[in-house]
A and B are shown apart, each in its own frame.
Chain A
Amino acid sequence: EEQLLESGGGLLQPGGSLRLSCAASGFTFRSYAMSWVRQAPGKGLEWVSTVTGNSEVTYYADSVKGRSTISRDNSKNTLYLQLNNLRAEDTAIYYCARVLIRYFDLWGRGTLVTVSS
């Protein structure tokens, strides 16, 4: 079964950092671009970042550009998101998603990140 499982969320302080992980299974991980999409409580979906299968190219939303890094380890079938200088507006469920021609065809269950003092 194809599956994505996020981890690394929790309660974090403003100005702090987080590193989210997404473990993939059931498909050839290196063959797909991967993304992070977030959803603030009670709000809609916001694309955050995408990395190509070979890590050659990365894309970022303006809201996180300059303070985030998306990366992957194809030997571990794992996707990562490092987000620094956390703000209250980063509070959201962070979903890992597989990318199929820039659509998101497989989603994890998400991990909740709360930024609060």
Chain B
Amino acid sequence: EIVLTQSPATLSLSPGERATLSCRASQSVSSYLAWYQQKPGQAPRLLIYGASNRATGIPARFSGSGSGTDFTLTISSLEPEDFAVYYCQQRGDWPLTFGGGTKVEIK
């Protein structure tokens, strides 16, 4: 099973600041990685797939990069609605697995 490790667990930032979230895979998943956003009481929402492709309707301030085992989600300038938990997910092999999440909270 491919284990995804996200860091940091919590990121405390102010609106307007840049957020950089990391996801590391226990073995290469090529570019087969997605990022999701989840707000309290809501279902997750797909943000990025294929490591760097924004899903439909996702603002340009969200960007993804990386390949192999190291991936990054960047939010260029945090909006109030961006404070949430973010998960990465790999589709490189079965079972499909998620990282443990990074909470982006207001400082």
Contact = CB atoms under 8 A, between A and B. Distances in A.
Contact of A101 (B49, B94, B97, B101): B49
Interface stretch (B10-18, B19-27, B39-47, B68-76): B39-47
Interface residues of A, number: 21
Given A45-B44, A107-B44, 8 more contacts: A44-B99, A62-B95, A102-B32, A104-B36, A104-B89, A108-B43, A109-B43, A110-B43
Interface of B: 32, 34, 36, 38, 42-46, 49, 55, 87, 89, 91, 94-101
A104 B87 contact: no
A88 interface: no
Interface of A: 35, 37, 44-47, 50, 59, 61-62, 95, 100-105, 107-110
A103 B87 contact: no
If over half of A's interface residues share one DSSP class (helix, strand or loop), that class is named, otherwise mixed; here it is: strand
Contacts of A108: 43
A108 B87 CA distance: 17
Question: Considering the complex of A and B, which 9 residue pairs feature the smallest CB-CB distances, nearest first?
Answer: A102-B91, A107-B43, A47-B96, A45-B98, A103-B34, A103-B49, A105-B46, A44-B101, A44-B100
Contacts of B98: 44-47
Nearest to B55: A105
Contacts of B99: 44
Contacts of B89: 45, 47, 103-104
A102 B32 CA distance: 9
B100 to A, nearest CB: 5
